[in-house]
Amino acid sequence: MTYSRIIGTGSHLPEKVLTNADLERIVDTNDQWIRERTGIHERRVVGENESTIDLAEGAARNAMSAAGVDKSDIDLIIVATTTPDRVFPSTACLLQQRLDIHGCPAFDVQAVCTGFIYAVGVADSMIRSGAANTALIVGAEAMSRIIDWSDRGTCVLFGDGAGAVVLQASEEPGILTTRLHADGAYEELLYVPYGVSTNPDKIRDGEAYVQMRGNEVFRVAVKTLGRIVDETLAETGLEKSDIDWLIPHQANIRIINATARKLDLPLERVVVTVDTHGNTSAASVPMALDVAVRDGRIRQDELLLMEAFGGGFTWGSVLVRY
């Protein structure tokens, strides 16, 4: 049986740091509120001449180097992003060009904060079916570009960055299961009101911003992530106690804590980056994974549960033997 294995991880953050103190000067907020309600201390944001593709390229190169693969080994590229550089070509095609890779399939996946989990799910299916052997999967976002910097309900939450993994076919597991879900009925709780086919003028005038009914999103997120934990374990017949690391989407420390409690997992076994990254949407899970791989916390053969929840609503999980 063929599985897909993670053989390398990488990430890339923009240099510019935006602290809670910086935000106090922009909107009516304060460091204490942001820390207590979200767990965020600071986040990174792209500079004027920087964009999603720059972050994606940095993360992709780091992951390929960690995996020890050459550009000629990559036969599939998927980029998860909500903030692409262009309407087209896709960010994946732009990345392919930057990496001087030619001919393999390259496409974007748009599932907002769950985008990386979706991309891994698609790549895993393609690798197991034999359609690909070595896939480069990137979650990359410049969320700061679609934030209303006068809305304290959203501007304190988001950050920019990119994370990546290289997945390769293997006889050894590998990814054990991926669970992907969506329910479009929740559109009104979390959305950007304009798009290129409806109000292109609003995009041009910079008015296409994230709108969120945070408290309602919070409640659905906690409930839904609790359910996906049960579903993922039931699918594989594994127990909560088998999980070595939870690598959650980094939206809010209180949501992360609720999922850890559901798993009876001590917080030392949860990878938390929300304090320094904020919510980087599709980039948050692969960046958290990379941080914990590089600082030596995550070791080979450990069982990792990655999960995410976001606009759509979309949600999903990946259970992987590292």
Quick one: which segment of 64-72, 152-160, 264-272, 289-297 binds ligand UT7 (CB under 6 A)? Answer: 152-160
Please give the residue whose beta carbon sits closest to ligand UT7 in the complex: 214
**Residue 262, interface with ligand UT7 (CB under 6 A)?**
no
Per-residue x/- track, 66-85, ligand UT7 (CB under 6 A): --------------------
Active site residues: 113, 249, 279
**Residue 38, interface with ligand UT7 (CB under 6 A)?**
yes
Q: Measured from the CB atom, is 30 or 97 closer to ligand UT7?
A: 30
**Residue 300, interface with ligand UT7 (CB under 6 A)?**
no
**Residue 251, interface with ligand UT7 (CB under 6 A)?**
yes
**Residue 214, interface with ligand UT7 (CB under 6 A)?**
yes
| In contact, 225 and 250? CB cutoff 8 Å | no
Quick one: which segment of 83-91, 93-101, 214-222, 314-322 binds ligand UT7 (CB under 6 A)? Answer: 214-222
Q: What pairs with residue 165 in β-bridges?
A: 9, 137
From candidates 252, 259, 273, 280, binder to ligand UT7 by CB under 6 A: 252
**Residue 156, interface with ligand UT7 (CB under 6 A)?**
yes
Q: What pairs with residue 44 in β-bridges?
A: 17
Quick one: which segment of 32-40, 57-65, 66-74, 263-271 binds ligand UT7 (CB under 6 A)? Answer: 32-40
Number of Cβ within a 10 Å radius of residue 210: 22
Positions touching ligand UT7 (CB under 6 A) are: 29, 33, 37-38, 113, 152-153, 156, 214-215, 217-218, 221, 251-252, 255, 279, 309-310
